[in-house]
Amino acid sequence: MKEKGVIIDHDILGWGKEHEQELLKTYQRVLMVGTEKGLERRKPDTIIATYCKANNCDLLTGDLKAYQYFFDAEVKTVQISRYTWIGGLTDKAVFLVQIVD
């Protein structure tokens, strides 16, 4: 089976860096937007979605609408869940976007 990765979106990089070791218990690779070739900052979100599809990656993001770009990347079905909260329940949510089909 192909190794599974997770991409940390630019809007939650600080959280991603703090939780990288924890994420490596679930994923074989943790990639950060803006620090990886092919995941440059300020590129359209369809680039992230296409990268996820091509490289067997999930996406962790603070942007609830990030899932919509997966459809532009010819993904048919995504699953979105609230992964955690940054700073407690009243602060920013972290969403997990996973490709189903």
The whole model's pTM is what?
Answer: 0.93
Residue ranges of domains in the chain = 5-99
The CATH number that domain 5-99 falls under is 3.40.190
pLDDT digits (tens, 9 = 90+) for 59-71: 999 998 999 999 9
pLDDT band at 1 (very low <50, low <70, confident <90, very high): low
Cα 39 from Cα 77, distance rounded (Å): 22
Beta bridge partners, 79, equal 98
pLDDT band at 2 (very low <50, low <70, confident <90, very high): confident
Q: Where are the beta strands (DSSP E) in 10-56?
A: 29-32
